[in-house]
Amino acid sequence: MVIPPAFMALVVQPVPQAREQVALLVKAHPRQVIFTSGGTESNNMALKGFAAGRKQAAMAISEIEHSSLIAPAQNLQQHGWQLDLIESDSAGRVSPAAVSEVINDETCLVSVMLANNETGVIQDVAAISDVAREREVIVHTDAVQAAGKITVDFAATGAHMMSLSAHKLYGPKGVGALIVHKSLELEPLLHGTGHEMGMRGGTENVAGIVGFGKAAELAVKNLETHTTHLHELQRLLERGLREITGVSIVAEQSLRLANTTCILAEGIEGETLLMNLDRQGIAVSSGSACASGSTNPSHVLLAMGIDRDLARCAVRVSLGKDNNRDDIDYFLKHLRRELANVQDPALQAWAS
């Protein structure tokens, strides 16, 4: 049957189209895209799908990974896998040398995130992959925070697997993807019918996937405009922060995402500062947003060698495309006010 041109748009298959859009986001091939329920599932699938069906051996993950990567790694450890931790330096970076150091004859998988969710520090995953590939070790990278904020090229990272999540790039919640190199064999986590090339059973979340595809398309289109805007705001924000006594910027010298600035505000707990700023209509997070509610200092900051008490004073400021210069001024004004309150000896005396 010949389809008249006027009806061509109607026959676009939404899921394959979204697969192409997501593939373009990370310069991968559409066949490498497996849709999942989000970054957490992608990270679980990368580790557990890799481990299933393989002889128990060793895997190495960096100390600064997101909990959705650490937890499945620890679960595998409980089931007999050896788990080695790759150190971060004080600037929040994981060096290829540190990766090389932990790789042993048993190591078959290494996982290092592309950008950290708390500090925004961007890792040189390509150099890490070089080191791992030389020793015939498979590489996974969690690019949940990086995709849509910097140019991500799956092949150039040298990784065999890459996790993505739609809601980090203005897409819907509850959908993500694992990008898998064709040479790699994984076991599905969810067995079912042949969905996602047999890699993830279950009827697809079509609405979520379509939303992810559109968000990916827009992220590619707007990447330059958004990052230029965010870099400008971040410069303004950090210039203001440097002028406030008692405030330091975590991993200040490292290459970081333009939207993420983690600060340590001496003398006030991150949770308290968060609540006080919230009353002024400012939304920041203390430590890892994903672990909020926990009063423990962030494992990422501890891994960087930051003192436990100081690590409790961490607050993460995440900027978005809709923020503007007035927001930065407003935030700095209220941060200064909060810190002046805790540093004011008269107030301190009154409070004690």
Residues that bind ligand PLP (CB under 6 A): 38-40, 43, 66, 68, 113, 117, 142, 144-145, 165, 167, 176, 290
- Closer to ligand PLP by CB, 161 or 328: give it: 161
Q: How far is the CB of 140 from ligand PLP (least distance, A)?
A: 12
- Closer to ligand PLP by CB, 174 or 267: give it: 174
Q: How far is the CB of 167 from ligand PLP (least distance, A)?
A: 6
Cβ atoms within 10 A of the Cβ of 262, count? Answer: 30
Q: How far is the CB of 290 from ligand PLP (least distance, A)?
A: 4
Q: Region of 74 please: left (phi>0), alpha (psi -120 to 50) or beta.
A: alpha
Rounded Cα distance, 234 and 231, in Å: 5
State the DSSP string of 99-113: HHHH--TTEEEEE--
Confirm whether 290 is a catalytic residue.
yes
Which H/E stretch holds residue 249? strand 247-249
Q: How far is the CB of 292 from ligand PLP (least distance, A)?
A: 11
- Both tokens of 204, joined, read 């697809």
- Both tokens of 215, joined, read 């968000």
The answer to whether 164 and 179 are in contact (CB under 8 A) is: yes
- Closer to ligand PLP by CB, 212 or 331: give it: 212
Cβ atoms within 10 A of the Cβ of 85, count? Answer: 16
- Nearest C-alpha neighbor of 21 from the set 176, 210, 161, 263: 210
Rounded Cα distance, 65 and 339, in Å: 31
- Closer to ligand PLP by CB, 112 or 113: give it: 113
- Closer to ligand PLP by CB, 43 or 88: give it: 43
State the DSSP string of 292-335: TT--SPPHHHHHTT--HHHHTTEEEEE--TT--HHHHHHHHHHH
Rounded Cα distance, 125 and 114, in Å: 6
Q: How far is the CB of 287 from ligand PLP (least distance, A)?
A: 12
The answer to whether 76 and 59 are in contact (CB under 8 A) is: yes
Q: Which amino acid is at 131?
A: V
The answer to whether 277 and 338 are in contact (CB under 8 A) is: yes
Give me the catalytic one of 108, 262, 290, 313: 290
With CB atoms as reference, the residue minimizing the distance to ligand PLP is 39
- Closer to ligand PLP by CB, 88 or 117: give it: 117
Question: 138 forms bridges with which residues in the sheet?
Answer: 109
Q: How far is the CB of 70 from ligand PLP (least distance, A)?
A: 10
Q: Which amino acid is at 8?
A: M
- Closer to ligand PLP by CB, 189 or 244: give it: 189
Rounded Cα distance, 111 and 32, in Å: 18
Q: How far is the CB of 65 from ligand PLP (least distance, A)?
A: 8
User: Catalytic amino acids?
Assistant: 290
